[in-house]
A and B are shown apart, each in its own frame.
Chain A
Amino acid sequence: MRDVAIIGVGETPFGELWERSFRDLGIEAGLKAIQDAKIGSDDIDAVYIGNMSAGKFIDQEHVAALVADYAGLADRHLPTVRVEGGGACGALALFQARLAIASGMYDIVVVGGAEKMTDVGDVQAAEILAGTADQEWESVFGATFAGLYAMMARRHMHEYGTRREHLAAVAVKNHKNGSLNPNAQFQREITMETVLQAPWVAEPLGLFDCAPLSDGAAAVVLCAMERARSFTDAPIRILGSGQASDFLALHDRRSLTAMDATTEAGARALKQAKLAPKDVQVAEVHDNFTITEILAIEDLGFVEKGKGGPATLDGVTALNGKVSVNPSGGLKARGQPVGATGVAQAVEIVRQLRGEAGKRQVVGAKHGLTHTLGGTGATAVVHIFGRAD
Chain B
Amino acid sequence: MKVGIVSYGGYIPRYRITPKDIGAVWGSDGEAMGRALNIRSKSIPAPDEDVITISVEAARAAMAKVEIDPTDIGAIYVGSESHPYAVKPTATVVAEAIGAAPVLTAADFEFACKAGTAAIQTCMGLTLSKMYRYGLAIGADTSQGAPGDALEYSASAGGAAIVIGTEGVVADIDHTISYTTDTPDFWRREGQRYPSHGGRFTGEPAYFKHVLSCAQLLFKRAGTKPEDYDYAVFHQPNGKFPVRAGKQLGFKEGQLDKGLLVRDIGNTYSGAILLGLAAILDVADPGDRIFAVGYGSGAGSDGFDITVTEEIRRLKRAGPSIQDMIQDAKFVDYATYAKFRGKIHLGEAAA
Contact = CB atoms under 8 A, between A and B. Distances in A.
Chains A and B belong together in one complex:
yes
Interface of A: 16, 18-19, 118, 121-122, 199
Interface in B9-30: 29
A199 B199 contact: no
B201 A118 contact: yes
Given A18-B205, A19-B205, A122 B200 contact: yes
Contacts of A19: 205
A24 to B, nearest CB: 15
Interface string B199-217: 1110011000000000000
B250 interface: no
A199 B205 CA distance: 25
A16 B32 contact: no
Nearest to A19: B205
Contacts of A16: 200, 204
B123 to A, nearest CB: 34
Contact of A121 (B29, B32, B198): B198
A27 B318 CA distance: 66
Contacts of B199: 121-122
Interface string B155-193: 000000000000000000000000000000000000000
Contacts of B32: 199
A14 to B, nearest CB: 15
Contacts of B204: 16, 18
A334 to B, nearest CB: 18
Contacts, number: 14
Contacts of B29: 199
A118 B201 CA distance: 8
Contacts of B198: 121
Given A18-B201, A18-B205, A19-B205, 10 more contacts: A16-B204, A18-B204, A118-B200, A118-B201, A121-B198, A121-B199, A122-B199, A122-B200, A199-B29, A199-B32
Contacts of A18: 201, 204-205
14 contacts: A16-B200, A16-B204, A18-B201, A18-B204, A18-B205, A19-B205, A118-B200, A118-B201, A121-B198, A121-B199, A122-B199, A122-B200, A199-B29, A199-B32
A142 to B, nearest CB: 15
A195 B199 CA distance: 22
Nearest to A125: B199
Contacts of A121: 198-199
A201 to B, nearest CB: 12
A19 B206 CA distance: 11
Interface string B20-52: 000000000100100000000000000000000
Interface in B200-245: 200-201, 204-205
Contacts of B200: 16, 118, 122
B195 to A, nearest CB: 13
A29 B210 CA distance: 30
A118 B199 CA distance: 10
A361 to B, nearest CB: 32
A289 B62 CA distance: 56
Nearest to A213: B200
A142 B29 CA distance: 21
Contacts of A122: 199-200
A118 B205 CA distance: 12
A216 to B, nearest CB: 16
A26 B204 CA distance: 23
Nearest to A118: B201
A199 B201 CA distance: 21
Which has the most chain B C-beta neighbours within 10 Å: A18, A19, A122, A199? A18
A122 B205 CA distance: 16
Nearest to B32: A199
B26 to A, nearest CB: 13
B97 to A, nearest CB: 41
A199 B204 CA distance: 23
A121 B150 CA distance: 13
Nearest to B196: A121
Contacts of A118: 200-201
The 7 nearest A-B residue pairs measured at CB:
A18-B205, A122-B199, A121-B199, A199-B29, A199-B32, A121-B198, A18-B201
B187 to A, nearest CB: 12
A199 B29 CA distance: 8
A117 to B, nearest CB: 12
A310 B32 CA distance: 30
B205 to A, nearest CB: 4
A386 B32 CA distance: 48
Contacts of B201: 18, 118
Nearest to A124: B199
Nearest to A212: B200
B87 to A, nearest CB: 31
A35 B36 CA distance: 44
A355 B204 CA distance: 36
A243 to B, nearest CB: 35
B184 to A, nearest CB: 11
Contacts of B205: 18-19
A122 B32 CA distance: 20
A118 B203 CA distance: 13
A122 B204 CA distance: 16
Nearest to B203: A16
B275 to A, nearest CB: 30
Interface string B118-137: 00000000000000000000
